[in-house]
Amino acid sequence: MSSTHAKKTVFLDRDGTLIIDKIYLNDPDQIVYLPGVFEALGRLRDAGYQFIMVTNQSGIARGIVTLENLDEIHRRIRAAFAEHGIEFRAIYYAPYAVDSNHPLRKPAPGMLLKGAEECEADLKSSWMIGDRLSDVVAGHRAGCRSILLTGVEEPDPSAAAESQPEFIVDTLTQAVDKILTVS
């Protein structure tokens, strides 16, 4: 990939980052967007970022979520953001069990690396935003900076550097403020 074409990218977790985490969402009619997500991504779009969603979906391995419903959920999410002029270049999901250690399942960086290759992302100028430490670690392992949304997990100050986010914020809007301030 030539660096002249590489794009600054924001990798986004799904549940708890873009939509309310319903724990194994299987009903497309239960999608509820978090406040301000459309406006926040619109600001990043206007600043030249592209978007890739990366989501662990162990509910598939557990038999709680069907692939058909997952596809419909992602179709509806794409459509809702498209109504606001926001495109997801790609949506990747890891349908593997929590204990699988699959290279695509966060905290492994597989989905981000795949997105970087397929969507020409410049990882050094990119960000990972999510509500779990596995998001932070996946971002760092892929070579991105990471932002942790509060509410689910907190970093342990004595833990490895890869699990220390660059920023900890309460909302996606605040995450965007940070990105636009340091970019």
In the prediction, which pLDDT does 4 show? 55
Task: Give the residue numbers marked as catalytic.
Answer: 13, 15
Residue 152 within any structural domain of the chain: yes
pLDDT exceeds 80 at position 53: yes
For residues 137 and 163, what is the distance between their CA atoms, to the nearest angstrom? Answer: 5
Residue 81 within any structural domain of the chain: yes
Q: What is the mean pLDDT of residues 14-19?
A: 97
pLDDT digits (tens, 9 = 90+) for 121-150: 999 999 999 999 999 999 999 999 999 999
**How many structural domains is the chain composed of?**
1
Residue 103 within any structural domain of the chain: yes
Termini Cα distance of the chain: 22
In the prediction, which pLDDT does 3 show? 45
Range of the domain at 112: 9-182
What are the two backbone dihedrals, phi and then psi, of residue 166, each rounded to the nearest 5 degrees?
Answer: -65, -35
- Against a cut of 0.85, is the pTM above it? yes
pLDDT exceeds 80 at position 183: no
pLDDT digits (tens, 9 = 90+) for 96-117: 999 999 999 999 999 999 999 9
> What's the CATH number where 88 sits?
3.40.50.1000
Contact between residue 53 and residue 17 where contact means Cβ atoms under 8 Å apart: no
pLDDT exceeds 50 at position 167: yes
